Amino acid sequence: MNKKRKSFSLLLISLVALSLIVSACGGNKADNSAAKGNSGKSEKPVELIWYTIGAPQKDLKRVVDEVNKYTLEKINATIDMKMIDFGDYTQKMQVMAASGEPMDIMFTSSWAFDYVQNARKGAFMELDDLLSKYGKGITDTLDPAFLEGSKVDGHNYAIPANKELPAQEVWRFNKELLDKYNLDISKATTMESLEPMLKTIKENEPGITPYAMLKDFMPVMPFDYVIEKMPMAVYMDTKDYKVVNILETPEAKSTLETVRKFYQAGYVSPEVATTTSVDDLYKSGKWFMDRAATQPLADNLWSASYGYPVVSTPASQPYIYNWSVMGSMQAISANSEHPEKAMEFLNLLNTDSYLRNLIDSGIEGVHYEKVNDNTVKNLADAKNYDMPTFSLGNVMITYLNEGDPENKWDEFKKFNASGINAPLLGFNFDTSAVTNEIAAVQNVKEEFWSSLMTGTVDPNEYLAKANEKFKAAGLDKIIAEAQKQIDEWRAANNK
Amino acid sequence: MKMVGGFFRDIIKNKVLLLMVLPGALWFLFFSYMPMFGTIIAFKQYRFSRDGFWASIVNSKWVGLDNFKFLFSTNDAYIITRNTLLYNVAFIIIGLILSVLMAVVLSEIANKRLAKVYQTGMFLPYFLSWVIVGYFAFSFLSSERGLLNQVFKSLGWESMQWYNDPKVWPYILILVYLWKAVGYNSVVYLAAIMGIDKSLYEAAMIDGASKFQQIRNITIPLLTPIITIMTLLAVGKIFYADFGLFYQVPRDSGTLYSVTNVIDTYVYRGLKTTGEIGMSTAAGLYQSVVGFVLVMTSNYIVRKFDKDSALF
């Protein structure tokens, strides 16, 4: 018995050794071929692997073939475009970047596959030199605030898309109900000011949800957050850049009391703290109002997608935040074999109207047809190639859709110019000294955040409970670390 | 030299058996043993290197036990450990009793076709994903349109805010788990019962034993080894919580965390934004080590009492 066991373990060991040798050989081979690829680069066309966000499209290959014909001629490169759906993108890219999967270009942002963290972890290549050498077109067309605002520790690691720069919140209303009860939209300013309108709807329309709210709702409060949806923040009008715990401020208390009042009055669904989607309400039109992030001409967009008129009025100022600047970017992978070509391609994508529109809308005559020079109409096949426009570079060189006003992009530029810089614009918190505390605070946040922010629990009771737990989890240490970094950042940037 | 010669002779002698073991052995080798090298990530601050995965591991900074700290740094550590352990103990004990009971009942049903129908019906929930089970539960517990609250309303009772009431969730979670798992486990015991020599029952019947006596004196004793093995295996996983059950079914409702937060959901919530794989590896390693120790101890205890029932 014993002898058999020994020989079996010997077999096991030899198998391990064998497989290690095999895998080592495999690794070497890959390296060799890579080296070869590099040396022959000047003549052979280069293939760039590009991961981007969005539901994979049926006609992707067809369009990419068309793209490759063009890029081959222009920059002697082809692309291999891979799409990963919105819900999976962060996780899959996280794993692929960690395991060193070969890729050249990838989508990153403040809300999916986090840009700042992954730049710090070394997932992206530093682009400063490449940008000045091969990215002339980008620096010329892009609003300088984008490149300035997306620097991490003083360097650029990704190319932001030229699009709306500030973020502004608006109150949205279902216009049919607004008209029916003759309610005045201009009266909607603060959260408290909504009460009479919501009351009218609640009393007269039993089947309607007055306020369509989700579990990640957060009232507009005058703060710029160190990390989004975490309680560390500075006041919007701060002079001394003092980091506070927002849940200890009087502003938060009074706002949350208002939300609580709404919850108790039944203006929001009793299940709001676990509601992740209200699409059913939008589809059936059984909602009166909600809050959303806007962009120029957004009312048209919403009305078209819901099939009934939606109107809006500002709920906040247009502020330029870190996260709004980093809303959509393309980075070059740290392990890219062809960073120069990748930059050339990104440059072309952001400046060349033909290429940008081909990637965005598909092939003319198949997916769309031109109405006039820069306005297009979708054809039936457009559903086989429906890309998220904002995620693929400069949106201001894309075609207008039928019904868009001629001055759409001027409106965008005007909107961008109207943006007010948030106090922490350009500051990126380096969490590596407090990772344990962040993980613990994150858990406390998950426990209390939704129920407090949606009014599901009484703030007078739960704010104290939450703060006590936040303290135990190390929030003070995070605030101290953030304060230290912000002070250093202010000193370095003369803020 | 002699040993090597003996080694090859052994291989040739047992080639058929070894060949049969090979696929399974390879599977374990590639998916269980090779990844074990990755546990060193638990002691590193993992940072990407442009030369691939191995280079990333080698070049990352050693941080000692820092990655384990977040698991124990707050008073949540007590809650998640307690929840994980108590729920699993409840699942093991109640699950065992119900599964064996179901298996015995199924084996005693005279109409074999009907028994098959019941068996399939009970088996089916096991194949549903937790997301779907979560929605099943939601259709009962939703405060506005849920079945239970509709019934309450028609009876004139006050409706319940199920997803805001931590008191009821230990029962709901155990109930949902049992609904999903018992059918599957009972099949294992049913197969064991089918393997029991029928002549034993015939002899008992001739001796005048009632059905109940037959079950107590033949079925249960003969099931003991398989019950022990199944329980030992479950004990090894006692530090792993079923993520879907504790995340999807309570709809990630914050007010319920005191009774639904377990090690796996805690790790997920803490790290989903930072994506520190060093820390998640640390959590996984901690669970494995505790599981390993528990299996060894319980196997040792079992062996003391009944050598044949032990795993090894």
Per-residue pLDDT of B123-144, as tens digits, reads: 899 999 999 999 999 999 988 7
- Which of B74, B131, B138, B143 best probes binding to A when mutated, by most A CB atoms within 10 angstroms? B74
Domain housing B109 = 75-272
Percent of chain B beyond pLDDT 70?
Answer: 99
Token reading at A283? 């589809």
Judging contacts by C-beta atoms under 8 Å, the chain A residues touching residue B274 are: 117, 431, 435, 438-439, 442
> Is the CB of residue A98 less than 8 Å away from at least one CB of chain B?
yes
**CA A228 from chain center: how many Å?**
12
With b for 16 or more beta-carbon neighbours within 10 A and e for fewer, the A135-157 pattern comes to bebbeeebbebbbebbebeeebb
3-class SS of residue B97? helix
Q: What is the pLDDT at residue A208?
A: 93
**Taking 50 as the threshold, does the pLDDT of residue B277 lie above it?**
yes
d(CA A348, CA A465): 54
What is the DSSP code string of B106-129? HHH-S-HHHHHHHHHHHHGGGGS-
A positions 23-52 inside 8 Å of B (CB): 27
> In chain A, which residues have pLDDT < 50?
1-4, 8, 12, 15-16, 18, 20-41
Inter-chain contacts counted by CB atoms under 8 A, chains A and B: 146
The residues in B 251-280 lying below 8 A from A, measured between CB atoms, are 251-255, 257, 261, 266, 269-277, 279
Q: Which residues of A touch B272 (CB under 8 A)?
A: 442
B261/A438 touch (CB, cutoff 8 Å), yes or no? no
Q: Is residue B101 part of a domain?
A: yes
**Lowest-confidence region among A102-106, A139-143, B83-87, B110-114:** B110-114
Query: What's the mean per-residue pLDDT of chain B?
Result: 89
CB contact under 8 Å between B257 and A447, yes or no, is yes
Closest residue in A to B60 (Cα) is A121
Q: What CATH number has the domain bearing residue B246? A: 1.10.3720.10
Q: Does A98 contact B48 at a Cβ distance shorter than 8 Å? A: yes
Residues of A in contact with B49 (CB under 8 A): 100, 122, 334
Cβ-in-10-Å burial (0-12, 13-18, 19+) of B309 comes to middle
The confidence score (pLDDT) of residue A25 equals 42
Which of A247, A443, A457, A463 has the highest number of chain B CBs within 10 A, making it the mutation to test binding with B? Answer: A443
- Which residues of chain B from 27 to 66 reach within 8 Å of chain A, CB to CB? 29-30, 33-34, 45-56, 66
What string of DSSP letters covers B175-240?
HHHHHHHHHHHHHHHHHHHHTS-HHHHHHHHHTT--HHHHIIIIIHHHHHHHHHHHHHHHHHTTT-
User: Rounded to whole angstroms, how far apart are CA atoms B99 and B115?
Assistant: 15
pLDDT value of residue A39: 42
**Does an H or E element contain A107, and which?**
strand A105-108
Q: Scanning every residue of chain A, which has its alpha carbon at the shortest distance from the alpha carbon of B248? A: A274
pLDDT in tens, A240-265: 999 999 999 999 999 999 999 999 99
| DSSP bridge pairs for B116 | none
Of A121, A273, A451, which has the smallest distance from its Cβ to B47's Cβ? A121
Q: Which of B2, B50, B75, B78 to mutate to test the interface with A (most CBs of A within 10 A)?
A: B50
What number of other Cβ atoms are within 10 A of residue A379's Cβ? 15
The reply to whether B299 falls in a domain is no
The count of structural domains within chain B is: 1
| B40 domain residue, yes or no | no
Partners of B144 on chain A (C-beta within 8 Å) are 269-271
- In this predicted structure, the answer to whether residue B112 has a pLDDT above a threshold of 50 is yes
Predicted confidence at residue A30, as pLDDT, reads 39
State the average pLDDT over residues B196-214: 92
Q: What is the pLDDT of residue B3?
A: 66
Residue B276 has pLDDT above 70, yes or no: yes
pLDDT over 50 at B291, yes or no: yes
Distance, in angstroms, between B32 CA and closest chain A CA? 12
For residue B286, being part of any structural domain is answered with no
Q: Does B11 touch chain A (CB under 8 A)?
A: yes
Q: Is A270 on the interface with B (CB under 8 A)?
A: yes
Contact indicator for A204, A447 with CB cutoff of 8 Å: no
Closest C-alpha to B223, from B121, B63, B94, B99: B99
Considering the domain boundaries, does residue B224 fall inside one?
yes
CB < 8 Å to A436, chain B: 66, 69-70, 73, 279
Residue B225 domain flag: yes
Q: Is A33 strand, coil or helix? A: helix
Quote the CA–CA distance of B312 and B34 in Å, as a whole number. Answer: 23
pLDDT in tens, A414-447: 999 999 999 999 899 998 889 889 999 999 999 9
- Is the pLDDT assigned to residue B261 strictly greater than 50? yes
**Per the domain annotation, does B106 fall within a domain?**
yes
Does residue B109 form part of some domain? yes
Paired strand residues for A356:
none
- Output the pLDDT for position A372: 86
pLDDT tens sequence across B8-58:
888 888 889 999 999 999 999 999 899 898 899 999 988 888 777 888 888
Q: Are A317 and A168 in contact (CB under 8 A)?
A: yes
Residues of B in contact with A451 (CB under 8 A): 164, 253-255
Q: Using a CB-CB distance cutoff of 8 angstroms, which residues of chain B are in contact with residue A432?
A: 45
Tokens at B27, concatenated: 């599977």
